[in-house]
């Protein structure tokens, strides 16, 4: 293939991609009303609805779940390629 055909293919591909992106943006964009609603913080009273966690834990409020998470954060993991947090080296799996 010569350079002209390669450049024509690249130009056509980019043009087609941009046309699909511009035409499809209307379908995936959030409405302006929901964007302005999402910018307003939710009051704490909205988190008083119970969440059913099954027979083992029962029902708790979302506020209790957040408070438990803040009081008991998950353990910090070692960076990728480094030793595990416990000092033991783990290979594969979770």
Residue 90: inside a domain:
no
Structure confidence at residue 7 as a pLDDT band (50, 70, 90): very high
Find the domain containing 11 and state its range. Answer: 3-29+48-71
> Do the Cβ atoms of 55 and 62 come closer than 8 Å?
no
Tokens representing 39? Answer: 């910018």
Quote the pTM value.
0.37
Structure confidence at residue 1 as a pLDDT band (50, 70, 90): low
Residue 41: inside a domain:
no
User: Over 60: is that where the pLDDT of 83 sits?
Assistant: no
Dist CA 51 CA 65 (whole Å): 9
Residue 15: inside a domain:
yes
User: Over 60: is that where the pLDDT of 86 sits?
Assistant: no
User: Over 60: is that where the pLDDT of 64 sits?
Assistant: yes
Residue 36: inside a domain:
no
Query: What number is the average pLDDT over the span 14-38?
Result: 90
Looking at the 3D structure of the chain, how many domains does it have?
1
- DSSP per position, the chain: --HHHHHHHHHHHHHHHHHHHHHHHHHHSPPHHHHHHHTSPPPGGGGGSEEE--TTT-EEEHHHHHHHHHHSPPPPPPPTTS--TTS----S--
User: Over 80: is that where the pLDDT of 10 sits?
Assistant: yes
Tell which wins on pLDDT, 5 or 62: 5
Residue 80: inside a domain:
no
């Amino acid at each position: 293939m010569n350079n002209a055909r390669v450049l024509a293919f690249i130009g056509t591909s980019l043009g087609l991609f941009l046309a699909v992106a511009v035409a499809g943006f209307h379908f995936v964009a959030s409405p302006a009303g929901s964007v302005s609603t999402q910018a307003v913080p939710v009051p704490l009273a909205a988190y008083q609805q119970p969440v059913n966690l099954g027979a083992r834990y029962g029902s708790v409020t979302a506020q209790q779940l957040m408070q438990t998470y803040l009081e008991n954060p998950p353990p910090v993991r070692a960076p990728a390629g480094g030793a595990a947090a416990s000092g033991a080296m783990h290979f594969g799996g979770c």
